Structure 1
Amino acid sequence: MTALTLAAAQTISIPGDLAGNIARHQRFMQVAAEQGVQLLVFPELSLTGYERGRAAQLAIAPDAAVLQPLRDVAREVGVTAIVGMPIRLSDTSPVLIGALILGADGSLGVYSKQHLHPGEEEAFAPGTGGAPLNVGNDTIALAVCADFTHADHAANAALNGAGVYAAGVLITAKGYNPDTALLKGYAADLSMLVLMANHGGATGGWESAGRSAMWAPDGSLIAAAVGTGSQMVIARRDCAGWAGKVLAVEVE
């Protein structure tokens, strides 16, 4: 079994401030690199916050030049980052909830949220998902929030060979227990590591619960953030199995 280090970035988004959020993401990526992280997953719509009412205004193309500094850092520090952004695939395309894959090798991938939460259809169109990504010998399937509430989404990931199911989310305190019960269940039932990266503070009128977490393929909790705030949840696999830790991350 090869070594693998993953992390969930529990960030606090500045509402609608792409430049400010890029700087915060770069800080998290630098900390991740210092910890030997290979894949770093951010929350849903992390680069803008969950600003549903401004989604059309904030949406950009995945390869927009404004994101190049973030892609440059991913390549420079050797960390593949999954970042959340409202996107348009063309000038005339609808707005999608995107998870952009900024490769440590300089590559760019796109995952778009397939299953919308009630009310999101006012601002977004359903996406088409995306191909899994490979980190070393491991296959990672992505999800964005409500995607994971559909059991077939996780089941299909496992059928397609994923050993890791990584979700960027916005989960409130009310939804935290039932949602994490689902995620823990997928880990145990489908023998996948499950990663959940939640917002670290209020966003878009919602009070996030924080408490980002990861579960091992037997369903046991590897590590979880305590409450809200800027934190990083890290899980490492070696010949002895999975071990985790949580770091507080200072941002300007």
Structure 2
Amino acid sequence: MAHPRPRCPGVRGRYEGRGPPAPSGVIKDSRLAVGLVQMDPALGDRARNLERHRQWVRQAATAGVELLVFPELSLTGYFLKDLVAESAISLQGTVMDELRGLSDGLDVVLGAVIEEPDHRYFNASLYFSRGELVHVHRKVYLPTYGMFDEQRYFAGGDRFRSFKTGFGRAGILVCEDIWHLSSAYILSLEGVDMIICPSASPGRGVTTDERLGTAESYGLVCRTYAQFLTTFFLYCNRVGYEDGANFWGGSMVIGPNGDIIAQQEDADEALVLANLDLGDVRRERLANPLLRDERLELTINELRRVLHERTRKPF
């Protein structure tokens, strides 16, 4: 199925020429105008990052964006380590008033460290709409291998939930969450039209054509989810350097047939813009009724059997 290709300034990808990072035009005639903020947050400087969020929101509003997505931990930077506690916000705190204000004219997804009343800290993404907090996703799968050490500093979330927006049902998965098949599968069974994935992925590995291995892997995973689950997939990765690591960007918008609609192919700061026809989800599911044919009860029964066999003591 052919998807409408965006004609938006500032978009770099398969269907667009090179353009300036800051858009100068306005998106027109779209059912949903989305923007991905591929930014370089300042490590541990929440006030500076909040001001930069305001600037990006103003640019996006000028371009006609209706849904704006920021990367993982966009308010704080990624390798916080001992800065986690002082960088955290409370969902009942005064900072939330400022964050809610970002969404007065468009829906906003941003990344923050949140502190619970019991003083656990979560790597979270927050969805705001019309000045209200709509949904919080606490990152479930915390990478603690290689260069990653999230379990030392964060508690893990314990649920995947879809939620209603003005554009349909959506779900959020943060970075490592998408590397576990069950995460996106659960959201798809809840009928999401769109999966949003804020990310802070450093570049690792080089393939034979000199592309980053992480870039190829994420592209493959995101496009596979979009096609198999027949849903839009918004992947927003950050850029910049922290603690010797280079974040590679590559933010992309993918249609429900697995085609890339828009992508920022380099590691520059940019506002990636795309026009989505939300009717594409219905058309793709009519042509490719994978979700209709899912046998959820069979899946649950088999998972129970596997769980029983894995936990059964051999002696």
Q: Same fold (TM over 0.5)?
A: yes
CA distance in 2, matches of 1:216, 1:24: 29
Structure 2 residue corresponding to 1:125, chosen from 155, 172, 188: 155
Q: 1:94 to 1:240 in 2, by over 3 A?
A: closer
> When the two structures are superposed, what TM-score results if normalisation uses the length of structure 1?
0.87
Deviation at 1:123, TM superposition (A): 0.6
- Higher Cα Rg: structure 1 or 2? 2
2:246 aligns to what SS in structure 1? coil
CA distance in 2, matches of 1:164, 1:240: 12
Residues 7 and 234, structure 1, Cα contact 8 Å, conserved in 2? yes
Residues 35 and 65, structure 2, Cα contact 8 Å, conserved in 1? yes
Once superposed, what is the RMSD of the aligned Cα atoms? Answer: 2.0
Higher share of residues assigned strand: 1
1:182 aligns to what SS in structure 2? helix
Q: 1:178 to 1:3 in 2, by over 3 A?
A: same
Residues 171 and 198, structure 1, Cα contact 8 Å, conserved in 2? yes
What is residue 48 of structure 2 aligned with on the other side?
20
Report matched runs for 1:133-172 at 5 Å: 133-172=163-202
- CA deviation profile, 1:35-57 (whole Å, cap 9, x unmatched): 22221111111100003312123
Say yes or no: does 1:98 pair with 2:147: no
CA distance in 1, matches of 2:245, 2:161: 30
Report matched runs for 1:45-194 at 5 Å: 45-53=73-81, 54-75=83-104, 78-90=105-117, 92-118=118-144, 119-129=149-159, 131-174=161-204, 175-194=214-233
CA distance in 1, matches of 2:131, 2:115: 24
What is residue 197 of structure 1 aligned with on the other side?
236
1:18 maps to amino acid: R
Residues 161 and 187, structure 2, Cα contact 8 Å, conserved in 1? no
Residues 234 and 254, structure 2, Cα contact 8 Å, conserved in 1? yes
- CA deviation profile, 1:81-118 (whole Å, cap 9, x unmatched): 1111111121x231110111222243353211011111
Percent identity over the alignment?
A: 27
Q: How many pairs were matched up?
A: 238
2:242 aligns to what SS in structure 1? coil
2:241 aligns to what SS in structure 1? coil
Residues 61 and 106, structure 2, Cα contact 8 Å, conserved in 1? yes
CA distance in 2, matches of 1:81, 1:136: 12
CA distance in 1, matches of 2:280, 2:189: 23
Deviation at 1:221, TM superposition (A): 0.7
What stretches of structure 2 of length at least 5 have no aligned partner?
1-29, 205-213, 282-315
Deviation at 1:127, TM superposition (A): 1.1
What is residue 246 of structure 1 aligned with on the other side?
none
What is residue 11 of structure 1 aligned with on the other side?
39
Q: 1:216 to 1:238 in 2, by over 3 A?
A: closer
What stretches of structure 1 of length at least 5 have no aligned partner?
243-252
Q: 1:169 to 1:70 in 2, by over 3 A?
A: same
Deviation at 1:132, TM superposition (A): 2.4
Residues 88 and 94, structure 1, Cα contact 8 Å, conserved in 2? yes
2:49 aligns to what SS in structure 1? helix
CA distance in 1, matches of 2:99, 2:243: 23
Deviation at 1:231, TM superposition (A): 0.7
Q: 1:130 to 1:102 in 2, by over 3 A?
A: farther
